[in-house]
Structure 1
Amino acid sequence: MRKRTRIASLTTACLLSLTSLTACANEVASHGGSGGGGKGTKVKIMVGGLDKVIYMPAMLTQRLGYFDAEGLNVELLTEPAGAQAETALVSGQVQGAVGFYDHTLDLQVKGKSVESVVQFSHAPGEVEVVSAKKTGDIHSPGDFKGRKLGVTGLGSSTDFLTKYLAVKHGVQVNQFSPVAVGAGPTFIAALQKGSIDAGMTTDPTVATILAKKAGRVLIDMRTPEGSQEALGGPYPSSSLYMNTDWVNGHRDTVQKLVNAFVKTLNWMSTHSAEQIAAKMPSDYSQGDEKLYAAAIKSTLPMFTKDGIMPARGPETVEKVLKAFSPNIKNADVDLDKTYTTEFAEKAAQQEKAAK
């Protein structure tokens, strides 16, 4: 990891506004969150699915008022997949993206300098589910050959992980068909209609699939143990990543962002799934509060308590990507430039001192 010493000017960039705000994000503004009110330093963050439990710290931080407490005016926007959040960041439409850490490696080999500044998780939080119609045919990723496999988007982290699991079990990436089906209702519909035979998704979609008996769990990576079994080590996934130049030029703002997120991660570690669910927008439960709380409970083990990159995590991610990606397989990735623990370590120390 890098320990920076350069002091940069604290300026705020004026960037293009996006139109993909969801009703949930608007609800936050009406609750006095930093999406409205115009107070504090303005920061736009694109999330690869605001209602996904794996990205829950983004909305929860806003609902808890921690952005406001740090003097920040954070506007949360959403896209259905992490790959689209990455695009918004690289194109300069937002200052930060909440998505999988693996995008930082993928972008580095494409000549982009992007880094994770706070790591939400040490496991993917992803689940490979098999359609109820195919439950007798698919028993492991070794059975992926010739199948239609759902992912949130092509080039997304679900796409990456699906390819790795296939290759690991002897199925080449050209021997199955990845199908972009998003998450939530679109994923479930694709599973039920037979548009996909299996697919990778997260909670609350997983909980809904099981409740509807539309499929069964094939591989569960919502816990560190599940990550170890499927991927061979800790797999840092959900994170806030930003352009390195922007981080260097706005260190004070980045520290405040990380402070807020670390407070949230710490809060999550001391509260129940039901208490967490009660803080989230009401429509996230889709009318079933118990099911939503259960989805959160199943996914909670994936989260870190301090926002610090887990030891050996970046190496696991690199190993996974090199297994199937021609671009990364032959590239010399500088892992130290894909993340920094500087801000999270300082925030964690502040949290410890406050207790």
Structure 2
Amino acid sequence: MFSRKFIAAAAIVLVAAAAALAGCGQGAIVGSERRPVRISVGSYNLNNLPFFVADANGYFAEAGVHVRTENFAQGGSKVLQALVAGSTDVAVGFYDHTIQMQAKHKEVSAFVLLSRNSGLVLAGRNDTRFDPKQPQSIGGLKIGITAPGSSSDFFVRHFLSRHGIDENAVSIIGVGSGAAAVAALQQGKVDLLVNYDPAATLIESRGIGRILIDARSDEGARAVYGGLYPTSVLYAQSGFLQEHPQVAERIARAQLKALRFIESTPPEQIVAALPDRYVSGDRAAYAQAVARAKAIFSRDGRFVAADLQTPLAVLREFDRSVAGAKIDLDKTYTNRFVDDALAASSR
């Protein structure tokens, strides 16, 4: 027979142990099961680099959240489908998809900003007949994008709409990103390519072609879109964020550490920290791409309300569901979890 003191002491130990487990594992509790948080990413383009850094450097585990990642490598539209279908918890994709979802009466909210600007380019082979100063010269050409419904697709449709060119005047073809996209241009499967770094840098460094429209800089984005175009974010269904605020805060904490790492670390060292699966082409060329892309990354993970007007305006040009809907941008994003993470790090 155990004494009352022994039973009381044992109870205290068990309660303390349970509390400790809950504290260190809340990031992995989803629904009624203890399982990893599923995070899916649409491509290996450099706009998503802060996520790759956080994953490679173990920042999620440091923040107390166990994640399982999946890369569709077919564009953000596939990730969006997975999120809506419930086969992933968090998406690494582009902010403009949250606007489209609101137009379809689905509550999806971005909660960490990774890339504050587009990063997209339009490239052609060296012998291309397309001249951006003569927009109509794009007629009859095959244009490669990451995937239908992706932001690279929006880039093309925005260009056509802006210049009064019918969408049927061109062929838009999904070719993926990175080395696969570069190969599609090089092999003549497409005449033009709308893509991100590292594809843009690989095209130039290998002499395959040249950049004809460049939205990587703030100036370039304003020329293309009329303003900055926030792109890569972490987003989730609003219900998930409401049910798992501590998970969202810990994910934000990991991403903020990654953003600080990118800002303070030379490109070669950033690339050295990445496993091969995240690097397209040789590491030297990839480091060049990182150097060129550094300006697009957020420094604090927070959304700037004024910048969100740009993707809304672009989508309204060709997306009928968005054009005909009353969009409340305040419901497409939140700075709550980043602010919580910033407050926690300052204590």
Q: TM-score, normalised by structure 2?
A: 0.87
Answer with 1 or 2: which has the greater Rg: 2
Residue matched to 2:107: 113
Residue matched to 1:247: 241
Matched, 1:95 2:89: yes
| Separation (CA, whole Å) in 2 of partners of 1:281 and 1:273 | 15
**Partner of residue 164 from structure 1, selected from 158, 162, 169:** 158
Contact 1:125 1:221 in 2 (8 A): yes
Contact 1:114 1:338 in 2 (8 A): yes
Residue matched to 1:77: 70
Residue matched to 2:116: 122
Counterpart residue identity of residue 336, structure 2: E
Equivalences, count: 319
Contact 1:322 1:329 in 2 (8 A): yes
1:256-282: CA deviation from partner (whole Å, max 9, x where unpaired)? 111111111122111111121111113
1:66-88: CA deviation from partner (whole Å, max 9, x where unpaired)? 11111111111101211111111
**Partner of residue 139 from structure 1, selected from 132, 146, 150:** 132
User: What are the within-5 Å matches in structure 2 for residues 335-354 of structure 1?
Assistant: 335-351=329-345, 353=346
User: What are the within-5 Å matches in structure 2 for residues 177-192 of structure 1?
Assistant: 177-192=171-186
Partner of 1:179: helix, strand, or coil?
strand
Contact 2:113 2:302 in 1 (8 A): yes
Counterpart residue identity of residue 75, structure 1: R
Counterpart residue identity of residue 31, structure 2: A
Partner of 1:217: helix, strand, or coil?
strand
Partner of 2:112: helix, strand, or coil?
strand
Deviation at 1:304, TM superposition (A): 0.5
**Partner of residue 271 from structure 1, selected from 262, 265, 268:** 265
Matched, 1:312 2:306: yes
Between the aligned residues of both structures, percent identity stands at 33
Residue matched to 1:55: 48
Contact 2:179 2:281 in 1 (8 A): no
| Separation (CA, whole Å) in 2 of partners of 1:41 and 1:234 | 38
| Separation (CA, whole Å) in 2 of partners of 1:99 and 1:206 | 19
Contact 2:46 2:197 in 1 (8 A): yes
Contact 2:38 2:89 in 1 (8 A): yes
**Partner of residue 324 from structure 1, selected from 300, 318, 326:** 318
> Comparing both structures, which one devotes a greater share of its residues to helix?
2
Counterpart residue identity of residue 286, structure 2: Y
| Separation (CA, whole Å) in 2 of partners of 1:346 and 1:143 | 50
Residue matched to 2:60: 67
**Partner of residue 231 from structure 1, selected from 218, 221, 225:** 225
Contact 1:115 1:337 in 2 (8 A): yes
Instruction: Structure 2 unaligned segments of length 5 or more: list them.
Output: 1-25
Matched, 1:13 2:38: no
Contact 1:173 1:324 in 2 (8 A): no
Partner of 1:216: helix, strand, or coil?
strand
1:112-146: CA deviation from partner (whole Å, max 9, x where unpaired)? 11010101111111111112231x43334443222
| Separation (CA, whole Å) in 2 of partners of 1:242 and 1:264 | 19
Deviation at 1:14, TM superposition (A): 7.0
**Partner of residue 190 from structure 2, selected from 186, 196, 200:** 196
Which sits farther off after the overlay, 230-239 or 168-177?
Answer: 168-177
Partner of 1:291: helix, strand, or coil?
helix
Contact 2:130 2:138 in 1 (8 A): no
Deviation at 1:283, TM superposition (A): 5.0
Q: 1:132 to 1:268 in 2, by over 3 A?
A: same
| Separation (CA, whole Å) in 1 of partners of 2:109 and 2:284 | 36
| Separation (CA, whole Å) in 2 of partners of 1:300 and 1:13 | 37
Residue matched to 2:13: none
Contact 1:123 1:236 in 2 (8 A): yes
Deviation at 1:287, TM superposition (A): 6.0
Residue matched to 1:293: 287
| Separation (CA, whole Å) in 2 of partners of 1:341 and 1:42 | 24
1:280-328: CA deviation from partner (whole Å, max 9, x where unpaired)? 1135445622111001111111011100012412111100100111111
Instruction: Structure 1 unaligned segments of length 5 or more: list them.
Output: 1-8, 16-39
Q: TM-score, normalised by structure 1?
A: 0.85
Contact 1:314 1:335 in 2 (8 A): yes
Counterpart residue identity of residue 93, structure 1: S
| Separation (CA, whole Å) in 1 of partners of 2:153 and 2:202 | 21
| Separation (CA, whole Å) in 2 of partners of 1:304 and 1:142 | 35
Partner of 1:312: helix, strand, or coil?
helix
| Separation (CA, whole Å) in 2 of partners of 1:189 and 1:290 | 19
Counterpart residue identity of residue 227, structure 1: A
Q: 1:14 to 1:229 in 2, by over 3 A?
A: farther
Aligned CA-pair RMSD: 2.0
